[in-house]
Amino acid sequence: MTTKRKRGETWHYTIKRAGLLPKPIYLTFDDEGEGDEYVRRVEALLDRGVVPDDFNEKCEVQRTLRENITRYLGAQHVGKDDGNLLGIVAQRLPRDLQLSLLTFTWATTWVTTLKREQNLAPSTLRKHVGALPRLASRSR
């Protein structure tokens, strides 16, 4: 949810999004049109569950992927099979992997490690990789 108001010659925007942003983000623009366009793009990203990097730094939340697994399991109705899979994925993840360090390069290295060192089948790898977006986007 975004609120907008004019203060003097500037426009002030407050972006609140329960579940994605731990605290409101405050933005100021000199031009109303520029502010509206920026906020529209940010809201489109937030609707897809993506928090822009600039906002992650402002929020200063450093959660681990394992914390997100716990939060996901507590907040969503998860079937028995998915619950078991998420537990296995959690065991195979580095213990203190911060969400901010979760990059394409890390994911590629992780999949290669699972494939070569743990000799997992391609279908198992697909299940593990498919679980990551659910876990990474759950930052409540």
Tens of pLDDT, residues 48-86: 888 877 776 555 456 777 777 777 777 777 788 888 888
- What is the reported pLDDT for 5? 94
Q: Is residue 128 domain-shared with residue 69, that is, in the same domain? A: yes
- What is the reported pLDDT for 114? 87
> 6: which strand partners?
11
- What is the reported pLDDT for 12? 95
Cβ–Cβ < 8 Å for 59, 22: yes
Cβ–Cβ < 8 Å for 46, 26: no
Q: Is residue 50 domain-shared with residue 79, that is, in the same domain? A: no
- Provide the CA 68 distance to its chain's centre, in angstroms: 9
Q: Is residue 100 domain-shared with residue 54, that is, in the same domain? A: no
- How far is residue 7 from each of residues 40, 55, 72, measured CA to CA in Å? 20, 23, 40
Domain that holds residue 77: 65-136
Q: Is residue 71 domain-shared with residue 116, that is, in the same domain? A: yes
Name the pTM for this structure: 0.48
Q: Is residue 87 domain-shared with residue 132, that is, in the same domain? A: yes
- What is the reported pLDDT for 135? 62
End residue of a domain, out of 59, 83, 103: 59
Examine the pLDDT at 140 and tell me if it is beyond 50.
no
Of 10-19, 90-99, 103-112, 131-140, the least confident: 131-140
